[in-house]
Structures are given as structure tokens and as C-alpha cells.
């Protein structure tokens, strides 16, 4: 097996390290030599002397000896060209590119099928957490009914800091950014877009469908205040950014939003930069995947696992139909905070200082918003 790694940033270099350090053990696993032939990057890096360094990705994908192309540059432009050209040459592809799979997965998978090539993308969803493969393979006896989880470690880290260190949003964001947790484009994390990319990938495989990513409604954490987190805690909840997907009577519900989770719930107790995915099935019922969602070796381990998987007989197919009916999940309980009493149907209520806090009974969001017309309020979903 000869490999070309395109993109030698944190994860790419980590993958090269694992492949070289674990070479003997990996070869024993697959009964074949494992060789990293190329490392490709615009910025020159020091590689083991047996690896050819190049700045031109064409050197990798045009080399007939290369079996697996690893795309780790990110983005949806040049990365797409690399992946499609590699697949058209019959080379297997491994990527951690969640945005590209979310936006252009249908074209990519169809190209792979046409050229009898494989594409794996475990690292695109939960970093090193094995969830894509188990959901697609190990749960094959089940119909997946619902997926919920914390899929963005940055926002989870920020929300954890706000609670444990008594910080407001801006203070926690500054710390997270200083530690390198925040994407260069912070909106990907803070506005729920990164989590939306990941739930799109999980929903695509779980429900065996392609759909327009732009139909996913994503709300981030910019409006979560320390005050709301404190009130949620008084009520027995913790606020987390939750991505979810489930079957509806007509179509599928998929969205990302800050959500109050019961404090005794496992998901509510996933803190710092950790991720969790909870899958509800018809036979297995509930299964939970938990672990670090980012980091050099954390993500690189998933990349290397996918590289080795290309050697094995493939049971993966992406011959899905396109699904038009994608909606936000709007029938829920809601947390509402206002500076005066409200005339709404509620399950729980209390007031403190000038704030009036409600947990509503389950209601459609548009109906609740009609009742709150002309009011100024903070509103979040409540799970349960």
C-alpha cells in the first residue's frame, strides 16, 4: 500500500507520524507493506528521508504507484479538485473534510462509485471518535431513528468555562481562542455551522439519503448568557449546543441549537472539548459514542484507521436517493426568559430579580413565537 498525504498541518503531520511509528504493526494487520511515498504541502516541512516532499498535489495523484490519497487541506475548492481527480484515477481517498462532504457528498460518492474507488471520512465527524463506521456497519441490523449529540468541541469548551469559571461568553471565547480551539473563521464554531456539517454526514448515512445542506437550520451559542446558564442550573438543566436528526411523519428533522439538557443526563455531563453522539435504534435502543473531538493524534488516528480500511473488502455504498423534505425540529419544550410575566402555557416557572423564567409544555415554535409577539425574550430548546 503506497500513500500520498496532501496537507501537512496538525492532522496531516500526525497521520504521517502514526504511519511511520506504527508501520510494522500496521503491516502485520493487513499483510502488506505500508509506505508513505509523498507528503504534499505549500509550506515545506521536515519529513522522514524516505518520504518525497512536494508542493504540487498532481505529483501525488498522477503517480500510478499511489493507492491511497489522503486529503487534509480542508476547504471546498482545491480539496474538491484533489478528491475528484484522485477518484477518477481509481485511487482510494481518505479525508477529514466535513464541509466538503456535507456540501458536495453526493457528487463525490457518485464519482467514487463510477470509478470503483473507496472514500472514507471517519475523521470528518468526531475527530478520533469512531462513530461513522459503527453507525454504518455495526448498527446495520437496526433502523436508526434519531441522532443527538455535542459535535463541536470548541463551543462545548466555551460553555463549560462559562459555567465552571463564572465567565461571560466573550471572556470564555478569548480563552478558547488563545488555546487554539477556535477555527480561523470563528463563525463555523460559534454559529453552529461546524456541528451542522457533522450532523449532515451522520444523518446522510443513518437515513440513507442525500439532501441540501442549506436546509439545515443552525443556531449557535452567541446568545447564551451566563445568566441563562445559571437559571438553567437552578431548574436542573445545563445548556449545550446540540445537533440532532430524526425521522418525522413527513420527511426528516435536522438542526443545531443551544438546548437545555437535564443535569443527570449523560450528554449534559460531557464537558470541555469532548464530543458525544447518542444514537437511538429500533433494536439496540440507545448507544453512546464519547471522546475527544479534535487534536493532532486524536484526529490522525481516525485518518490512519481509514487508510488501513481501504485495504479491506468494502461493504460501503452511497447509492442513496435525494430527500427534499428536511425541516428544523420545532416541536419541543422551550426555556423562555423575559423581564416581565408572560401569558404562556408552562410546566415550570420562577422569578428572580427582574427576570421571569419559564419552561413551557411542548409546543410548536411558531405558535410560541406568536404568543410572544412584540416581546423581548431569550429562548432555547429544552430536551425531554
Query: Binding site residues for NADPH, as ranges?
Result: 98
Alpha carbons 241 and 232: distance in angstroms, whole number = 14
- In three-state secondary structure terms, 49 is coil
Residue 314 has φ and ψ, to the nearest 5°, of: -95, 130
Q: How many whole angstroms from its chain centre is CA 182?
A: 15
Provide the sign of the torsion angle of the four alpha carbons 183, 186, 187, 189, taken in this order.
Answer: positive
Q: Given 3-state DSSP classes, what are the helix, strand and coil percentages for the chain, each rounded to the nearest 5?
A: 35, 25, 35
**Cβ contacts of 168 within 8 Å, gap of 6 or more:** 162, 225, 226
Contact 118, 314 (CB under 8 A): yes
The one catalytic residue in 91, 136, 198, 381 is 198
Q: From residue 184, give the alpha-carbon distance in Å to each of 8, 75, 161, 177, 190.
A: 17, 12, 20, 9, 11
**Cβ contacts of 58 within 8 Å, gap of 6 or more:** none
- In three-state secondary structure terms, 329 is coil
Contact 367, 336 (CB under 8 A): no
Q: Which positions make up the binding site?
A: 98, 183
C-alpha dihedral (126, 128, 132, 133), degrees to nearest 10: -170
Q: Which positions make up the binding site for L-homoserine?
A: 183
Active site residue 246: no
Alpha carbons 322 and 327: distance in angstroms, whole number = 15
Residues annotated catalytic, as ranges: 198
Amino acid at each position: 500500500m503506497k500513500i500520498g498525504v496532501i496537507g501537512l498541518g496538525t492532522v496531516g503531520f500526525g497521520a504521517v507520524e502514526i504511519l511511520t511509528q506504527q508501520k510494522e504493526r500496521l503491516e502485520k494487520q493487513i499483510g502488506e507493506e505500508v509506505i508513505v511515498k509523498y507528503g504534499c504541502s505549500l509550506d515545506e516541512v521536515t519529513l522522514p528521508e524516505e518520504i518525497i516532499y512536494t508542493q504540487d498535489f498532481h505529483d501525488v495523484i498522477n503517480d500510478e504507484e499511489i493507492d491511497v490519497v489522503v486529503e487534509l487541506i480542508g476547504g471546498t475548492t482545491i480539496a474538491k479538485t484533489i478528491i475528484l481527480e484522485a477518484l477518477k484515477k481509481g485511487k482510494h481517498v481518505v479525508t477529514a473534510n466535513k464541509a466538503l462532504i456535507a456540501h458536495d457528498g453526493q457528487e463525490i460518492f457518485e464519482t467514487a462509485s463510477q470509478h470503483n474507488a473507496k472514500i472514507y471520512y471517519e475523521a470528518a465527524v468526531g475527530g478520533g471518535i469512531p462513530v461513522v463506521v459503527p453507525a454504518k456497519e455495526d448498527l446495520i441490523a437496526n433502523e436508526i431513528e434519531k441522532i443527538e449529540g455535542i459535535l463541536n468541541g470548541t463551543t462545548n469548551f466555551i460553555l463549560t468555562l462559562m459555567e465552571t469559571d463564572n465567565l461571560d461568553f466573550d471572556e470564555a471565547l478569548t480563552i478558547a481562542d488563545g488555546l487554539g480551539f477556535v477555527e480561523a473563521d470563528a463563525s463555523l464554531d460559534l454559529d453552529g455551522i461546524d456541528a451542522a456539517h457533522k450532523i449532515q454526514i451522520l444523518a446522510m448515512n443513518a437515513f440513507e439519503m442525500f439532501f441540501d445542506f442549506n436546509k439545515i437550520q443552525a443556531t449557535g451559542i452567541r446568545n447564551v448568557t451566563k445568566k441563562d446558564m445559571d437559571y438553567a442550573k437552578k431548574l436542573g438543566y445545563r445548556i449545550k449546543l446540540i445537533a440532532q436528526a430524526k425521522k418525522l411523519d413527513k420527511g426528516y428533522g435536522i438542526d443545531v441549537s443551544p438546548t437545555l439538557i437535564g443535569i443527570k443526563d449523560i450528554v449534559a455531563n460531557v464537558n470541555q472539548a469532548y464530543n458525544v453522539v447518542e444514537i437511538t435504534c429500533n433494536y439496540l435502543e440507545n448507544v453512546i459514542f464519547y471522546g475527544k473531538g479534535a487534536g493532532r493524534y486524536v484526529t490522525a488516528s481516525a485518518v490512519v484507521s481509514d487508510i488501513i480500511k481501504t485495504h479491506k473488502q468494502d461493504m460501503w455504498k452511497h447509492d442513496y436517493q435525494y430527500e427534499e423534505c428536511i425541516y428544523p425540529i420545532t416541536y419541543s419544550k422551550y426555556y423562555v426568559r423575559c423581564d416581565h410575566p408572560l401569558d404562556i402555557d408552562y410546566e415550570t416557572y420562577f422569578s428572580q430579580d427582574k427576570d421571569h423564567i419559564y419552561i413551557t409544555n411542548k409546543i410548536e415554535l411558531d405558535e410560541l413565537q406568536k404568543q410572544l409577539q412584540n416581546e423581548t425574550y431569550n429562548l432555547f430548546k429544552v430536551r425531554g
